[in-house]
Amino acid sequence: MARYTTLRLGGPAGRLEIATDAIEIVRRVREAEARDEAVLLLAGGSNVVIGDQGFPGTVVLVRSRGFQVVATDADTVTVRVAAGEPWDDLVAATVERGWAGLECLSGIPGSAGATPIQNVGAYGQEVAETIVAVEAYDRTHREVVRLAAADCGFAYRGSVFKYSDRWVVLSVDFQLTRSPLSGPVRYAELARALGVEVGDRVPLADARATVRRLRAGKGMVLDPADPDTRSVGSFFTNPVLDREAYELLRERAVDVGEPPHWPGPGDVVKVSAAWLIDKAGFGKGYAGPEGVAISTKHTLALTNRSGAASTAALVALAREIRDGVHARFGVPLHPEPVLINCTI
C-alpha cells in the first residue's frame, strides 16, 4: 500500500479495487461485505498510517471526481463535491470563481471526502464551518443517506465518521460565500505574512497563495523532491486541557517559558503540540530508526525521509516522542492520522 499513501509506507492489500463514482463505491463495499472481508476506503492516503502487514481485506481506491452547484442565492453558492475530488484542486476552483470559505485550507493534500472525517482545519478555518451536508453509505442499515452538518458530530479534528466503519463518505456539500475577499483572517501567523491585522479580509487569491507559501515552508505541500513532505502532515493533535491541567503544565514548563495556548469553549485551553515536542527535546530533524525523522521544517511532521523505512520504525519514533512529552510535561499526545493495523 506504500504507493498509495503520502508516507510511502504500508504492506500489501488482500484485494485492491478502484471505484470511480458513488454507485461503484457502494457496490465495491457491498461485494466485499458479501465475501465477509474487511473494507478500507482510501483516496489521497494523506492522513493514514498503514502497518507493515498491510490490510488483509479489500482496499477500495476512491477515484470519483468533480463537483456541481446544487443551490444558490444572492450571497451563497452550495457545491456538491465527489469524495475522490483532490482537495486542493477544489480549493483552487472555488477561489477562481470568487467563492470564499475554503481559501485558508489551500495546499492540504488528500481528497474532499476525507475532509469531514477529521474536520480538516488550518490557519483559522475548519471545513465544519462550510459543510452543510454529507452523503454517505450507511453500512449498518445498507442505505445511502444525507447527513446534515448538525448530525456529523464535528469537533476538533473529529466527527462521527472518524474511527467508525459504519459510514462511507460519497460526497460533501459546501456552502460558500460569494465574495472576492477572504473571510476575516483569524490566524496571527497568516495575518503577519499577509501584512494585515487579525480580522482583516484580503483578496481570495492572496490568501490562497500565502497559505500555500507558508505550508510549503513547513514541508506541508507535497513535493516529490522534498523528503520532508513524505509525511501525513501534523502527526499529533494539539492537546486540549482543562484549566487545572493547563496550570499544572505551566508549573512543569516554568524553566522553558509560557506554552503557546489558545482559549476554548468551556474554560478549556488548546496547547501547541509542536512546542511541547520541541521543549521535550525532540527538535526539527530529530532522527529515529531506518531513516524516519521529525521534519527539518516542522516539528509536528514525522517523515519517511529515507523512503525505505518501515511503519514499525515510524511508530517507534512516534512512541518515543509521545512518551518523552508525557514524562517531561505530563501532557498526553494523540495521533491525528488514522492508524491501520498499527498502534502507538
Active site amino acids = 157, 234, 336
Relative to beta strand 76-82, strand 167-178 is antiparallel
Reading the block at residue 179, the C-alpha cell is: 465574495
Output Rg (C-alpha) for the chain, integer angstroms: 20
